[in-house]
Amino acid sequence: MSRRIRAAVLAIAAFSASGAMAASPCETSAHRAFDFWLGEWQVRTPDGKLAGVNRISSEYSGCVLHERYDTGHGYSGESLNTYDAGRKVWHQTWVDTSGTLLLLEGGLRNGSMVLEGQTTGADAQVTKHRITWTPNANGSVRQLWQSTDAKGQWNVAFDGMYTRK
């Protein structure tokens, strides 16, 4: 009987070790495409004013990028970002203290992460959104958020430069 118990314990230990050693399903290059955004950042407007701080962390075995943004002036928000391997697209869900829910999807374009989506206002007005994150050679990241006006023209909603804290 002790041989059987010893064999079972060894089998369980071997199975557990092999499971622990298995690679995360999110280790592909496509899953790592937005990793340039990971870190703790100061975010500044084009005139150099501090817009807020942002912390982007990798969670759930590297399958999710979790963003936490705070202006320090009563406005904050969070996003969850993940690569949908089945559809081959990046997805972001953004929520904030103003009640905004923004769903964006897209992927890498010419070295930048470009995510797009739309919101519908209480007046039924549809606004398109396009946010582009571009990594720079000096380690900073530019975030350019564009949205459409009532005439469908694209305008800059936010232009921020991320520098590491």
Q: Residue 44 sits in which domain range?
A: 26-164
Largest CA-CA distance found in the chain, in angstroms, rounded: 80
Residue entry with tokens 């804290």: 165
Total domains in the fold of the chain: 1
Query: Smallest Cα–Cα separation from 45: which of 147, 127, 157, 149?
Result: 157
71: in domain: yes
15: in domain: no
39: in domain: yes
Q: How far apart are alpha carbons 53 and 66 in whole angstroms?
A: 14
Residue 47's domain is classified under what CATH number?
Answer: 2.40.128.20
Tell me if residue 56 falls in helix, strand or coil: strand
Q: How confident is the model at residue 23 (pLDDT cuts 50, 70, 90)?
A: confident
Looking at residue 13, what is its pLDDT? 47
Q: What is the pLDDT of residues 62-110, one digit of tens each?
A: 999 999 999 999 999 999 999 999 999 999 999 999 999 999 999 999 9
Q: What average pLDDT does this structure show over 35-60?
A: 98
Looking at residue 18, what is its pLDDT? 45
Higher pLDDT, 8 or 33: 33
Using the predicted structure, report yes or no on whether residue 14 has a pLDDT greater than 50.
no
17: in domain: no
127: in domain: yes
Q: What is the 3-state secondary structure (H, E, C) of 88-117?
A: CEEEEEEEECCCCEEEEEEEEECCEEEEEE
5: in domain: no
Using the predicted structure, report yes or no on whether residue 8 has a pLDDT greater than 60.
no
Q: What average pLDDT does this structure show over 126-138?
A: 98
Query: Smallest Cα–Cα separation from 65: which of 85, 80, 43, 76?
Result: 80
